Structure 1
């Protein structure tokens, strides 16, 4: 680094709070020494101060699962809320929900962390440049720290790329003596951005461990994490939004450089998918070597197979550091996780505390999300022969066959019957049973279980315009089954690190890459069906071929690349629902416009009679234009640096 000594001594090291491991508590790491001023010289004079700088690099990780700071969670079409809640400052500010509402702008963009993430890249560069100088740091640890910093640097670049598309690559920090023209950097072409990030991850993997050394280090980067993130990034690089996207042909900077390559041959397009196949295969091999596997719950109480399967599915997300979570984000505060659970929960202990003011349950999925889930035969409603002629919104009374899913003798709609296990495990709804929230007992009977009654007059009814159900469905998936209401105002939430990448996600990325590379009947077809069917089997569903051949109106759909693409994409949208993945997947596939035009619908939640309640009500319309694929660069940044050409449409 070309920084004069006098300037180095004035350079503050940013003390960013970072949770680095303990499963049940937060470790906030402060690197400011006793004199209140940290310098590069003091930071790298010994291991005990240098490791704090490493944690500072981790501190710039984005906060996935945070309602205001996860830029793909409340900003799309998967969850909806009330525009002007009185309690908007209590558990979330509604910042990213403004993107969903169509209020994004270039003057002051929502979710604008451009400067902050580049600050994180700068910190990573400083550590990479200085780790070798720490005198009491073993050589193996120096290499590991540098590898961790390279991973974080790659992730920070990818975070910016996913939002803004082509970005300036920062390989090394500019010296303080840099001229104005040197500071006015250009955006690098999209292909070069992806190649650089992949290069960083390849370099990092050489020196990362297979597993962390102790539970105190959970959250630190390992070889399987780096390999899996590389696989995911390579699938993004191969996807239509980034791979020969002719819609971006006019994005050209003032040098005449095209920021998207739009004249690729079919072989060049395929090459990206071929590389993704290899990366996914290697990531799965490493993850399985590190003993990751699809999660199976070990219940502490005796429950029947139906409830056990529900717990398998729910705990794959909410059980801390379970066997399926390859990478969990310890930077997202546990308070943010608790808030997510609280705003998603109905009043749970209806028989004791029906009016708990903290459980506003004002974040809910629109009707197109429950419609999206499969039938119990593992195919979409519209393709299931058994649903031919059945109106999903006809009234139906809970029966003995569905007694573990629906309140017996309670009137609901056909949409809630004969659905796949993930529907019941991950969705709450009027008349639906909800395992947990009460003291656990052995061999429970249906009448022991909590159930939702959110029509007017029910325990979970709408109690005010900003309190109570919005659409009539709840994202049960993110709510731990052991959460408890402890009093009229008390709520105990079992918090957990947010799952950034699960093994199921990786399996489906691999299936997608194979199909896009060679179609469903190529050299890797057996692996493609094996991994997608593994995800389906854990969800209690038949394999793809069996489901479509025996139960659908379109047997053999999986035999074409287009048909298999539909199957894989739907599987991802279901399996990863409410995890913040849908927002990005719809964009990289370029299917967002068709999904958004379906509109945001809910039930008439203020009604009491079933025939009145179960009406589809349009809550909002969403538009999706070409400009919405990428964030706008803030106008002020472009005024400071005219070399940063603005994204199309902004």
Structure 2
């Protein structure tokens, strides 16, 4: 429900002007009583609170956010009826006339407007305790901070809407300016500081799971300040030419280490708050029907279900406005193909070969740095040994790239010959209970039409809940809300900030190792000392930075983190100019299938780090300046 309002924010006024011939001052309130009724009693005010939540992006939906299918981590079928609009972004088709993802600009400013309306009107509600009012105000301030953050992450410097403009505002007041990016981050952090200690430590009532609490606000502040300290925003000389029309610089080109120190402090506080609230690294309880599963399978399920098991111990914030359902159906391969048509699971989304190569070896090292792993022979094929039976079909011929990899490789990805545990069969001691995939042309789930995968040969296992069940004529999924932040993310942010603030030390390693321990790989220092061709890498800030970044890419793969991380690190200019490759899905034999094949050549320039502002918005508000390069 969208309630008509007396106050309009600057950008809603601009949008209204674009859609009619009216002048700014022609917009008048036509139903004052509606707003008064919205805050007449607690029940009505709560509906408006839920309105503020309703703008949360649909993270788990096909067209929900650019980070799902608009980058280089997931590639979808080229000829399908259910394609993401953000595919065009991944293909380099951004433009200024009708920018891909421009809905964010409109929707987030509408969200901020409604948050401001709530904050302006909650005070007089009569049948509420003051403590509950303070909590609701804190929730909405956190949402307002989050919506501003989403805009800054996309556009860089933005107009900050602290309060809504009155209807009587003149043209000059409506034509707002973009604010320097440091001011934007400062205001977001200020809102979170105002909110974070008026929130409950935990949400007790299950019907309110997903509402803002203290761990969410503290963790969001940690992430916001880490972005503010990152190279894209901290001393980015490439953006020094971006200035308002009055000459105000919108980027500070001077690097500040103090930003990393502040971010480290925020991470430290957030970790303490989260752990006090009982948030901890998730471990699967090893309860599957009547069977005790092996340690190998338990580790894999701990990794898979840290993402897909709703409200597990590691989740800090999950998006209840976006439940993951449809992408489980059309993203999954068909484990038990029948004589019926393949209409339930289409394997439409796969990881490029470079992402498969990104995961570590079983020694916890990049595949080109492990002296026990033959990097040069990674594309050659051999028979899977018996020791890999819980990862690869015993005796199956597959690429060496798929062998002796870290558990996160097998927990995140399916592949030709790979085991896909679960889906109604849980006894990993029985070969008949271990589903395995076959992707070659002519195989039961190989390429059969433009509407069925595989795409690269690496479907995303992480998205698919292990308890989903395939019947001969249907596919039943276990839906879950898309996780926005979990504790492993926060631990890795803290390691990153500490390393940037002071370089390698025991505390940096300890938080990295908390994540690696659950992943079933050696601690950082042991891995690089005992197995690496470059053992000195862990002794320098630059070397450890690369390690931390790779750790984030592996641990948080397919969670919409890479899209933003490689931007804030300014690595997108490298990563998104690489070719998207996969196996030759039209190969019918081992020899012809296991050939790296180019699918698409991506292009990414400096201008692509930030979204263009739509030309229509620039025409209406002449005080807005366009991002560089557009």
TM interval, short-chain normalised: over 0.9
Q: Any idea what SS the aligned residue of 1:474 has?
A: coil
Give, in whole Å, the separation in 2 of the partners of 1:366 and 1:103: 20
Name the residue aligned to 1:562: 542
Alpha-carbon displacement from aligned partner over 1:36-79 (angstroms, at most 9, x marks no partner): 99711001110010000000000111111222112211100001
Which residue among 485, 493, 496 is the counterpart of 2:470? 485
Q: Any idea what SS the aligned residue of 1:72 has?
A: helix
Given that residues 59 and 331 in structure 1 are in contact (C-alpha distance below 8 angstroms), is that contact kept between their aligned partners in structure 2? yes
Q: Determine whether 1:545 maps to 2:534.
A: no
Name the residue aligned to 2:135: 144
Name the residue aligned to 1:444: 429
Structure 1 segment 232-631 matched on structure 2, within 5 A: 232-262=223-253, 264=254, 269-301=256-288, 302-332=292-322, 334=323, 337-350=324-337, 352=338, 355-388=341-374, 390-441=376-427, 444-488=429-473, 490-520=474-504, 525-631=505-611
Give, in whole Å, the separation in 2 of the partners of 1:596 and 1:57: 35
Give, in whole Å, the separation in 1 of the partners of 2:398 and 2:204: 51
Which residue among 46, 50, 55 is the counterpart of 2:50? 55
Q: Any idea what SS the aligned residue of 1:328 has?
A: strand
Following superposition, the deviation at residue 598 of structure 1 comes to 2.4
Give, in whole Å, the separation in 1 of the partners of 2:519 and 2:33: 51
Given that residues 347 and 354 in structure 1 are in contact (C-alpha distance below 8 angstroms), is that contact kept between their aligned partners in structure 2? no
Name the residue aligned to 1:18: none
Q: Any idea what SS the aligned residue of 1:396 has?
A: strand
Following superposition, the deviation at residue 356 of structure 1 comes to 2.2
Give, in whole Å, the separation in 2 of the partners of 1:465 and 1:208: 50
Name the residue aligned to 2:22: none
Following superposition, the deviation at residue 487 of structure 1 comes to 2.9
Give, in whole Å, the separation in 2 of the partners of 1:65 and 1:275: 32
Following superposition, the deviation at residue 556 of structure 1 comes to 2.5
Which residue among 136, 139, 153 is the counterpart of 2:144? 153
Give, in whole Å, the separation in 2 of the partners of 1:475 and 1:444: 24
Give, in whole Å, the separation in 1 of the partners of 2:57 and 2:74: 20
CA change 1:355–1:347 in 2 (3 A) is farther
Name the residue aligned to 2:74: 79
Following superposition, the deviation at residue 237 of structure 1 comes to 0.2
Alpha-carbon displacement from aligned partner over 1:258-282 (angstroms, at most 9, x marks no partner): 11111x2x5xx10100000100000
Q: Any idea what SS the aligned residue of 1:608 has?
A: coil
Give, in whole Å, the separation in 2 of the partners of 1:309 and 1:206: 36
Name the residue aligned to 1:69: 64
Q: After the TM superposition, which of the residue ranges 613-622 and 356-365 deviates more from structure 2?
A: 356-365
Q: Any idea what SS the aligned residue of 2:265 has?
A: helix
Give, in whole Å, the separation in 2 of the partners of 1:249 and 1:225: 33
Name the residue aligned to 2:24: none
Give, in whole Å, the separation in 2 of the partners of 1:249 and 1:542: 43
Alpha-carbon displacement from aligned partner over 1:563-599 (angstroms, at most 9, x marks no partner): 0000000000000000011000000000011112321
Give, in whole Å, the separation in 2 of the partners of 1:354 and 1:395: 32
Q: Determine whether 1:120 maps to 2:111.
A: yes
Give, in whole Å, the separation in 2 of the partners of 1:205 and 1:404: 45
Give, in whole Å, the separation in 1 of the partners of 2:476 and 2:552: 31
Q: Any idea what SS the aligned residue of 1:330 has?
A: strand
Give, in whole Å, the separation in 2 of the partners of 1:9 and 1:601: 51
Q: Any idea what SS the aligned residue of 1:424 has?
A: helix
Give, in whole Å, the separation in 2 of the partners of 1:111 and 1:353: 41
Alpha-carbon displacement from aligned partner over 1:82-115 (angstroms, at most 9, x marks no partner): 3332x22xxxx42111100111111111111212
Given that residues 354 and 460 in structure 1 are in contact (C-alpha distance below 8 angstroms), is that contact kept between their aligned partners in structure 2? no
- How many residue pairs get aligned? The number is 603
Q: Any idea what SS the aligned residue of 2:79 has?
A: coil
CA change 1:138–1:308 in 2 (3 A) is same
How big is the alpha-carbon RMSD for the aligned residues of Structure 1 and Structure 2? 1.8
Alpha-carbon displacement from aligned partner over 1:606-636 (angstroms, at most 9, x marks no partner): 1111010000111000111011000110110
Give, in whole Å, the separation in 1 of the partners of 2:208 and 2:493: 27
Give, in whole Å, the separation in 1 of the partners of 2:480 and 2:276: 25
Give, in whole Å, the separation in 2 of the partners of 1:45 and 1:439: 54
Name the residue aligned to 2:122: 131
Give, in whole Å, the separation in 1 of the partners of 2:374 and 2:425: 41
Which residue among 206, 209, 222 is the counterpart of 1:218? 209
Structure 1 length as normaliser, TM-score?
0.91
Structure 2 length as normaliser, TM-score?
0.93
Following superposition, the deviation at residue 205 of structure 1 comes to 0.7
Give, in whole Å, the separation in 2 of the partners of 1:574 and 1:99: 23
